[in-house]
């Protein structure tokens, strides 16, 4: 996924009201940007952190700038991390369509945001006359507290737990059900559930897997010009 325009860099002054951030651009200009992430963003929103923003000159938009990336340094040099939670579904859908995700290849059609379960919508529905249906839920991962180990979630997610239960329901009636963690950083070697942050979700994934849900994870390469889905990494359940 290429950004329409190269991102611009700035230094974070503060994030507030979850959806807003004050930033000093490298040019010296002070701006307010939208923050497309409702989570805690642990380790990624400290004042003074370098961040990257996209621009949109649509006059109907309240904020011209949108926070996209963070420069995260765990002591081994800065790594770009994607925090925009509106991107993962498109990134995964495009990667499937381009034949990059072998584990989810071979389906005739791909549909997004399809109704299923108890008043829910599945992120991606794959269908094929021979292979049947695959229900794919996508979660954005950006938390890393230990080198190489990505973690999810970074805050309590009752909605995420509900998704695991509904994926389990699909698996038990014979459909393929997949929980896919998209790690928007390139330095991950594996991903595990952050049980100290949300033990119910960690237990929920273990239960979902026991019911037949597949847990997959892929990491990304990121730059100020594009985000690309790259390699699969193991999920620790």
Task: Give pLDDT tens digits for 197-220.
Answer: 999 999 999 999 999 999 999 999
Comparing CA positions, the residue from 141, 134, 230 lying closest to residue 181 is 141
Q: Looking at the structure, do residues 94 and 113 belong to the same domain, yes or no?
A: yes
What's residue 203's pLDDT? 98
CA angle 131, 182, 19 (to 5 degrees): 130
Q: Looking at the structure, do residues 71 and 179 belong to the same domain, yes or no?
A: no
CA distance 218 to 231: 5
Q: Looking at the structure, do residues 48 and 113 belong to the same domain, yes or no?
A: no
Q: Looking at the structure, do residues 216 and 100 belong to the same domain, yes or no?
A: yes
What's residue 117's pLDDT? 80
Name 78's bridge partners: 73
End-of-domain residue from the set 26, 54, 81: 81
What's residue 30's pLDDT? 98
CA distance 223 to 27: 20
What's residue 120's pLDDT? 86
Q: What's the number of domains the chain is made of? A: 2
Number of other residues whose CB lies within 10 A of the CB of residue 61: 12
Comparing CA positions, the residue from 125, 130, 41, 46 lying closest to residue 83 is 41
pTM of this structure: 0.95
We report the CATH number of the domain holding residue 36 as 2.40.50.580
Contact (Cβ atoms closer than 8 angstroms) between residue 153 and residue 201: yes
Whether 117 is in a domain gets the answer: yes
Q: Looking at the structure, do residues 180 and 69 belong to the same domain, yes or no?
A: no
CA distance 12 to 127: 43
End-of-domain residue from the set 30, 55, 81: 81
Q: Which two tokens stand for residue 99?
A: 């034949």
End-of-domain residue from the set 55, 81, 107: 81
Q: Looking at the structure, do residues 109 and 209 belong to the same domain, yes or no?
A: yes
What's residue 215's pLDDT? 98
CA distance 110 to 96: 9
Distance of alpha carbon 192 from the chain centroid = 14
Low-confidence ranges of the chain (pLDDT < 70): none
- Chain position carrying tokens 């942050």: 197
We report the CATH number of the domain holding residue 113 as 3.40.1350.60
Q: Looking at the structure, do residues 211 and 102 belong to the same domain, yes or no?
A: yes
What's residue 118's pLDDT? 79
Q: Which two tokens stand for residue 38?
A: 């409702």
Whether 36 is in a domain gets the answer: yes
What's residue 119's pLDDT? 78
Q: Looking at the structure, do residues 196 and 116 belong to the same domain, yes or no?
A: yes
Q: Looking at the structure, do residues 187 and 222 belong to the same domain, yes or no?
A: yes
Whether 1 is in a domain gets the answer: no
Q: Looking at the structure, do residues 119 and 214 belong to the same domain, yes or no?
A: yes
Q: Which two tokens stand for residue 210?
A: 């026991």
What's residue 60's pLDDT? 86
Comparing CA positions, the residue from 113, 90, 108 lying closest to residue 182 is 90
What's residue 2's pLDDT? 96
Range of the domain at 46: 8-81
Q: Looking at the structure, do residues 92 and 69 belong to the same domain, yes or no?
A: no
Q: Looking at the structure, do residues 93 and 200 belong to the same domain, yes or no?
A: yes
Whether 57 is in a domain gets the answer: yes
């Amino acid at each position: 996924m290429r950004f329409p325009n190269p991102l611009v860099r700035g230094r974070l002054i503060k994030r507030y009201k979850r959806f807003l951030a004050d930033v000093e651009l490298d040019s010296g200009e002070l701006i307010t940007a939208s923050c497309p992430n409702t989570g805690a963003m642990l380790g990624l929103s400290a004042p003074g952190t370098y961040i990257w923003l996209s621009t949109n000159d649509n006059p109907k938009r309240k904020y011209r700038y949108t926070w996209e990336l963070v420069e995260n340094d765990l002591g081994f040099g800065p790594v770009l991390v994607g925090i925009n939670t509106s991107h993962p579904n498109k990134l995964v859908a495009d990667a499937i369509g381009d034949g990059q995700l072998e584990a989810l290849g071979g389906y005739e059609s791909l549909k997004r945001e399809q109704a299923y379960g108890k008043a829910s919508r599945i992120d991606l529905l794959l269908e094929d006359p021979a292979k049947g249906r695959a229900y794919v839920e996508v979660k954005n991962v950006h938390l890393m507290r230990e080198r190489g180990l990505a973690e999810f979630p970074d805050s309590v997610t009752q909605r995420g737990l509900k998704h695991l239960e509904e994926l389990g329901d699909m698996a038990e009636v014979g459909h393929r059900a997949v929980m896919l963690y998209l790690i928007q950083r390139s330095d991950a070697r594996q991903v595990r559930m952050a049980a100290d942050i949300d033990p119910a979700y960690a237990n929920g994934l273990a239960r979902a897997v026991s019911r037949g849900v597949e847990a997959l994870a892929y990491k990304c390469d990121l730059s100020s010009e594009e985000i690309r889905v790259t390699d699969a990494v193991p999920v620790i359940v």
